[in-house]
Amino acid sequence: MDYEQIRYEVTDNVATITLNRPDQLNAFTAQMLTEMLDAFDRSDADDDVRAVVVTGAGRGFCAGADLSSGGETFDSDVQGARAGGSGVPRDGGGLLTLRIFESLKPVIAAINGPAVGVGITMTLAMDIRLAADDAKIGFVFARRGLVPEAASSWFLTRAVGISRAMEWVATGRVFPATEALAAGLVRSLHPRAELLDVAYGLAREIAENTAPVSVALSRQMLWRMLGADHPMEAHKVDSRGIDTRGKGPDVREGVLSFLEKRPATFPMKVSDGMPEWFPWWQPREFE
């Protein structure tokens, strides 16, 4: 697929997805959604990609939905939408976060400027969020007569707790990045000029030091256990993972490289190295 509203680049085993409508503060469109879904499919399928960084072109990360259609912006009868199994039009932001949730590569958000509406909710399924120290964030849906989307009623409460999530959603106010940091929504704040360097530093630390299959499995284990009803569910999956990985060449290389005081070269790839019991969950349908 050729991209018009995002850029996709791979350097040093790190894929960068850049929202690329800078004149509109990277406002979100149906085309941008389609391109982002394709980009995450592409990064998962590429064994040379070990981590993904998502950022915005220009001075904004994403200003939310493109409002150029005025009052009909969110009218599915006018705009059209992907229907689910029940015939209910599916929320585009949710299609994106559910795809990111399924990712086999860790995803780092570099929030370089305003992130409002879907501009912030899309990041909730990303693993690590960093922000520019002057970024502004807002869950503004109630101020537009809407409700939160992008499955953020699941993601946001797990990130910051129900009380802070409800405050942000009920007021719909735009708040500074310092408040997001204090609540644990973002990992750290950085001068805008330094933000991408820090994000790439994290991505390279993953790419240069860890086993790709281990990271892919670990990502799904951690995210999916957020919804487990008992730690026994985690113990079952952990036990499978330790048993399968412990017999494989990655662990031998990891242990020997440590003992021999040299960098590890892990031989297994995500494309053909995931265990036969993966995935261990039943897919969820939109009904």
97 versus 84: the higher-pLDDT residue is 97
In a domain, residue 237? The reply is: yes
- Give the percent of the chain with pLDDT over 90: 91
Range of the domain at 256: 210-273
Mean pLDDT on 50-67? 95
Specify whether the CB–CB gap between 216 and 105 falls below 8 A.
yes
Separation of alpha carbons 136 and 156, rounded Å = 17
Residue range 1-27, pLDDT digits in tens: 999 999 999 999 999 999 999 999 999
Domain termination site, one of 190, 207, 224: 207
| Shared-domain flag, residues 121 and 163 | yes
Measuring CA to CA, how many Å separate 22 from each of 6, 27, 30, 41, 121? 10, 8, 16, 24, 19
Residue closest to 116 by CA, chosen among 199, 56, 32: 56
The residue-averaged pLDDT of 210-215 equals: 99
**Which amino acid does the sequence have at 75?**
D
Are 221 and 119 contained in the same domain? no
Sequence-separated (6 or more) residues with CB below 8 Å from residue 257? 263, 264, 265
Note whether 128 and 173 are same-domain residues.
Answer: yes
For the chain, how many structural domains are there in total?
2
114 and 14 both lie in a single domain = yes
Asked if residue 158 belongs to a domain, the reply is: yes
What pLDDT, on the 0 to 100 scale, is given for residue 72? 58
CATH number, domain containing residue 164? 3.90.226.10
- pLDDT per residue as tens digits for the range 139-182: 999 999 999 999 999 999 999 999 999 999 999 999 999 999 99
Residue 87 inside a domain? The answer is yes
E-state strands within 57-180 = 107-111, 115-116, 128-132, 136-138, 174-176
Q: Are residues 74 and 98 in the same domain?
A: yes
Query: Is residue 283 in a domain?
Result: no
Residue 28 has φ and ψ, to the nearest 5°, of: -80, 135
* 102 shares a domain with 216: no
Number of residues in the chain: 287
Are 128 and 261 in the same domain?
no
Sheet holding 174-176, edge to edge: 115-116, 136-138, 174-176
In a domain, 60, yes or no: yes
**Same domain for 97 and 43?**
yes
- Looking at the structure, do residues 21 and 63 belong to the same domain, yes or no? yes
Q: Please check whether residue 284 lies inside any domain of the structure.
A: no
Do 166 and 263 share a domain, yes or no?
Answer: no
Helices vs strands, H then E, count in the chain: 12, 9
Identify the pLDDT of residue 143. Answer: 96
Whether 156 and 232 map to the same domain: the answer is no
